[in-house]
Amino acid sequence: MVESEVEGEVEGARARLTWLAYRMLGSWSDAEDVAQLSFERWYRLTAAERERIERPAAWLTTAASRLCINLLDSAPKRRERYVGPWLPEPIPAHVVPDPDPLDRVTLDNQVSMALLVVLESLTPAERVSYVLHEVFGLRYAEIAEIVGRTPEATRQAAASARRHLRDARSRPSDPAEHARLVDAFQQACEQGDFAGLIAVLDPRVVSVSDGNGRIGIAKRPTVGAEQVARFLLGILRRPLPGTAIERVEVNGLPGFALVRTGLRGRKRVTGVISFGVESGRISNIWFAMNPDKLSAW
């Protein structure tokens, strides 16, 4: 492969590496750092070392995956210092690539908050094996070299991840159903319709707020349709002065952003609301309020 072709393959891998790391880590900012560090490692190689690498994109995938594993292994200690629940970092529409319409449902469910939340409950080996095999199509032998396990152990980790995901999620969210429920949710909140809001919420709905103790939000999940409905009507009908609630796309699916207008009309997103849908009702509501997780907005 000539040098120009190598450089083209390397630079063309940046978006792929970022998406790979985001699915593994649930953090867009960390994913961007992982992609950048992978490139730095590539360019620290000597010209002779780079010339011996037959598949630069595969080399970068391995480098990024190992960086992700290191971060996942250290995550429990970092989470111990976190105040309240930890949620994946939401991403706006301009970050999500615009695929062929036929691939849209697949893409939305690959990066949906519902999937990322469940991935958080997996072990690092399960999460890495699942993402590399199911999403990026790597063979188990290739994954084994990356994670330092046997191909059979890697296969078992991916199978365990699939079982966990199957148990935790009844089925992927249908975008049309998701939009319909968010429409009904929005209408009920705007009208202060308690009964209408109850009707779109699963009886066991769970609302989780992630602020890392930096703002005055609930530090524990709110559970149950009536409790969640009261909580929602209390905060969404009376937002802070200067704050508007705008309909946006969150990880490829309808959600809301809390947008504050400051001096000179400058707008800033102070929170993002996303939803999980199951069996025709809203089963989960996630409030991302930690400013550190809103940099992409």
Backbone angles phi, psi at 131, to 5 degrees: -65, -45
DSSP of 222-252: EESHHHHHHHHHHHHSSPPTTEEEEEEEETT
| Low-confidence stretches of the chain (pLDDT beneath 70) | 1-9, 11, 96-110, 169-172, 215-216, 218, 237-240
Give the whole-angstrom CA distance, residue 89 versus residue 288: 7
Predicted confidence at residue 6, as pLDDT, reads: 54
Determine whether 178 is exposed, middle or buried from the number of CB atoms within 10 Å of its CB (0-12, 13-18, 19+).
Answer: buried
> Over the Cα atoms of the chain, what is R_g?
21
Q: Does domain 3-89+122-168 have CATH number 1.20.1640?
A: no
CATH annotation of 175-293: 3.10.450.50
Give the whole-angstrom CA distance, residue 58 versus residue 49: 15
DSSP of 94-163: TTS----GGGHHHHHHHH-HHHHHHHTTS-HHHHHHHIIIIIT---HHHHHHHHTS-HHHHHHHHHHHHH
Give the whole-angstrom CA distance, residue 110 versus residue 104: 10
Domain ranges of the chain: 3-89+122-168, 175-293
Predicted confidence at residue 5, as pLDDT, reads: 55
The structure tokens 């309020």 sit at 289
pTM: 0.84
201 near 277, Cβ under 8 Å? no
DSSP-based three-state secondary structure for 289: coil
Backbone CA torsion sign across 133, 136, 139, 145: negative
Predicted confidence at residue 67, as pLDDT, reads: 95
The total number of residues written for the chain in this structure: 297
Give the whole-angstrom CA distance, residue 88 versus residue 25: 8
Predicted confidence at residue 103, as pLDDT, reads: 42
Backbone angles phi, psi at 274, to 5 degrees: -130, 165
DSSP 293: G
86 near 25, Cβ under 8 Å? no
